Amino acid sequence: MLSQEHNDTLTQVGPGTPMGGLLRRYWYPVATAQDLEDFPVKRVRLLGEDLVVWKQPDGAYGIIQERCPHRHASFAYGVVEANGIRCGYHGWLFDRDGSCLDQPPEPEGSNFKDKVSAFAGRVEELGGLLFAYIGPDPAPQLPRYDGFVMEGVRDIGHATLPCSWLQIMENAVDPHHVEWLHGRYFQFLGQQQGFTAPAAFQKRHIKTAFDAFDHGIVKRRILEGQSEDSDDWRIGHPLVFPYQMWVGGNGIYQMQIRVPIDDTTTWFILYTVHRPEGVPTPTQDGPMVSYEFPFRDESTGHHIVDFIEGQDIMAWVTQGPITDRTAEHLGKSDVGILMLRRMFKENIAVVEDGGDPLGTVREPHDVIELPLERDKFGAGYEFATQFIERGSMRYSPQAEQLKQLHIDAAVERGELAREEVGS
Ligand code: FES
Ligand SMILES: [Fe+2]
């Protein structure tokens, strides 16, 4: 149970707040690269700030406060030029540093433009996502986590959720929810609605552990029937501080990204790379697939809960926009959540003391490898196919091809007989 003040500290992300100060030390996806191919200007919101991102003809990206310093029209309706963005209202031109380069209606020879500037951040493309940094200089490196740079077929599903990002991060250190929400509840729903829920998620947790490391917290578990030799225990997978989780197994590599748009809105992105063993590494044919997936039935407003992430989203959203942590009852099995809250508190203090918080990368690098179990839940290739059939990837335009990729690889590995798949 937390005090109201502590809950506010952990959940307020806007400018000038302690958590906002910590979170502004990291890069966040704000759009896909494809978004700016479709139209070179896009309004975005990050950490409670309204911003506009644009792509210049030379390929460079900029990000600037949404409101023009002149009389506050939105740059979302601006004109992209070779060296910046020009406000659509009276033509003031700003470059990627936020300097004002031109004010056409002002008298010739005026130096008024030198007295005006806009807030500007930085944008870099990585793995088909546009990451923005809106914190203080010097900006750290954009961490090149393996999922963003590895070969394979990519699939980007996303949804904008009406709840605090912190609820979603606390779920990343809450292993027990798997056997209940994705196990027992899923099974119950299947019995009611006539489908078979994935059995791998129904196994009981025998033991869990959490270890702090350079990029967050590694979560490990032993499920019934497993020993300490299992990947789930030996390797586990990490919460990537402060807003991601790296998860997968059996040829699936997924970065779950939870971008704090503001205190009560989160952009949830499932950035998945498919790369099953047993077949040559598949390559991306054509543009990367990205799509928004539904999580509520539009006619009833009821959560869609017959898929894994839909169940998670139900839990996060029904906890409330900002869950009331002054009235919660944490038990011993919630130790990971306490560890995460402590980690946030400590890193807020690090930033306030002028230091670099956990996971800051200052050195240029090719890749940062994160731990990830390969044999997930001892489920074999079915982990991958069920994760597609009964996960948000069922909404992907390439769901069938992805499933086939994993089935073909399982056949090649000898895990599955060709006759069993009927082809
Ligand atoms: S409001 Fe932007 S130029 Fe006038
Ligand atoms: Fe979950």
pLDDT at 188: 98
Residues 65 and 98: their CA atoms lie apart, in Å, by 9
What's the pLDDT band for 283 if we cut at 50, 70, 90? confident
The 3-state secondary structure of 96-136 reads CCCEEEECCCCCCCCCHHHHCECCECEEEEECCEEEEECCC
Question: Which of 100, 133, 166 delimits the end of a domain?
Answer: 133
User: What sign for the dihedral angle of Cα 348, 349, 355, 356?
Assistant: negative
Distances, alpha carbon 394 to alpha carbons 284, 369, 383, 401, in Å: 19, 28, 14, 11
Tokens standing for residue 394:
């069922």
Q: Which of 164-168, 349-353, 360-364, 415-419 has the lowest mean pLDDT?
A: 415-419
Residues 344 and 358: their CA atoms lie apart, in Å, by 9
CB 381, CB 410: distance < 8 Å: yes
Residue-range definition of the domain harbouring residue 103: 27-133
Q: Based on the fold, state whether residues 120 and 187 are members of the same structural domain.
A: no
DSSP alpha helix (H) spans, 282-390: 308-318, 335-352, 381-389
pLDDT at 375: 83
pLDDT at 191: 97
* Residue among 81, 85, 90 whose CB has most ligand 1 atoms within 8 A, to mutate: 90
Distance from the CA of 86 to the center of ligand 1, in angstroms? 9
CB 376, CB 250: distance < 8 Å: yes
Q: Residue 21: inside a domain, yes or no?
A: no
Q: Give yes or no for residue 106 CB within 6 A of ligand 1.
A: no
Residues 285 and 273: their CA atoms lie apart, in Å, by 13
Q: Based on the fold, state whether residues 217 and 309 are members of the same structural domain.
A: yes
Q: Indicate if the pLDDT at residue 422 is higher than 70.
A: no
- 134-174 per-position pLDDT tens digit: 999 999 999 999 999 999 999 999 999 999 999 999 999 99
Q: Residue 17: inside a domain, yes or no?
A: no
Tokens standing for residue 171:
């779920």
What number of residues does the chain have?
Answer: 423
Distance from the CA of 49 to the center of ligand 1, in angstroms? 19
Give nearest CA residue, ligand 1 atom 4: 90
Q: Indicate if the pLDDT at residue 90 is higher than 70.
A: yes
Q: Based on the fold, state whether residues 193 and 69 are members of the same structural domain.
A: no
| Tally of domains in the chain | 2
Distance from the CA of 76 to the center of ligand 1, in angstroms? 12
Distance from the CA of 135 to the center of ligand 2, in angstroms? 31
What's the pLDDT band for 132 if we cut at 50, 70, 90? very high
Q: Residue 169: inside a domain, yes or no?
A: yes
Neighbours of 193 (CB within 10 A): 10
Q: Residue 379: inside a domain, yes or no?
A: yes
Residues 136 and 233: their CA atoms lie apart, in Å, by 39
Which residue is associated with the tokens 């609605």? 193
Q: Residue 22: inside a domain, yes or no?
A: no
Q: Give yes or no for residue 345 CB within 6 A of ligand 1.
A: no
Q: Based on the fold, state whether residues 214 and 80 are members of the same structural domain.
A: no
Q: Based on the fold, state whether residues 383 and 317 are members of the same structural domain.
A: yes
Q: Indicate if the pLDDT at residue 423 is higher than 70.
A: no
Distance from the CA of 72 to the center of ligand 1, in angstroms? 6
* Residue among 70, 106, 117 whose CB has most ligand 1 atoms within 8 A, to mutate: 70
Q: Based on the fold, state whether residues 339 and 407 are members of the same structural domain.
A: yes
What's the pLDDT band for 120 if we cut at 50, 70, 90? very high
Tokens standing for residue 372:
């990830």
Neighbours of 232 (CB within 10 A): 24
Tokens standing for residue 354:
């002028």
Distance from the CA of 88 to the center of ligand 2, in angstroms? 44
Q: Residue 4: inside a domain, yes or no?
A: no
Question: Which of 107, 133, 159 delimits the end of a domain?
Answer: 133
Q: Based on the fold, state whether residues 237 and 284 are members of the same structural domain.
A: yes
| Average confidence (pLDDT) over 334-338 | 98
Q: Residue 362: inside a domain, yes or no?
A: yes
Q: Give yes or no for residue 87 CB within 6 A of ligand 1.
A: yes
Q: Based on the fold, state whether residues 315 and 177 are members of the same structural domain.
A: yes
CATH number of the domain within which 99 lies = 2.102.10.10
Question: Which of 80, 110, 133 delimits the end of a domain?
Answer: 133
Give nearest CA residue, ligand 1 atom 1: 71
User: What sign for the dihedral angle of Cα 173, 177, 181, 184?
Assistant: positive
Q: Residue 64: inside a domain, yes or no?
A: yes
| Average confidence (pLDDT) over 377-382 | 81
Q: Which ligand is nearest to the CA of 391?
A: 2
Calculate Rg over the CA atoms of the chain. 23
Could you tell me which residues come within 8 angstroms of residue 155 by beta carbon, excluding any fewer than 6 positions away? Answer: 270, 272, 274, 289, 393, 396, 398, 402
Q: Based on the fold, state whether residues 177 and 241 are members of the same structural domain.
A: yes
Tally DSSP H helices, then E strands, for the chain: 13, 18
| Average confidence (pLDDT) over 262-291 | 93
Q: Indicate if the pLDDT at residue 367 is higher than 60.
A: yes
* Residue among 89, 102, 112, 116 whose CB has most ligand 1 atoms within 8 A, to mutate: 89
Q: Based on the fold, state whether residues 243 and 321 are members of the same structural domain.
A: yes
Q: Based on the fold, state whether residues 91 and 201 are members of the same structural domain.
A: no
Nearest atom (ligand 1) to Cα of 75: 2
The residues pairing with 85 across neighbouring beta strands, listed in sequence order, are 80, 94
CB 7, CB 14: distance < 8 Å: no
Q: Give yes or no for residue 68 CB within 6 A of ligand 1.
A: yes
pTM: 0.97
Of 243, 66, 247, 65, give the one whose Cα is nearest residue 164: 243
CATH number of the domain within which 173 lies = 3.90.380
Of 101, 132, 142, 119, give the one whose Cα is nearest residue 36: 132
The 3-state secondary structure of 13-42 reads CCCCCHHHHHHCCCCEEEEEHHHHHHCCEE
Q: Give yes or no for residue 119 CB within 6 A of ligand 1.
A: no
Q: Based on the fold, state whether residues 184 and 129 are members of the same structural domain.
A: no
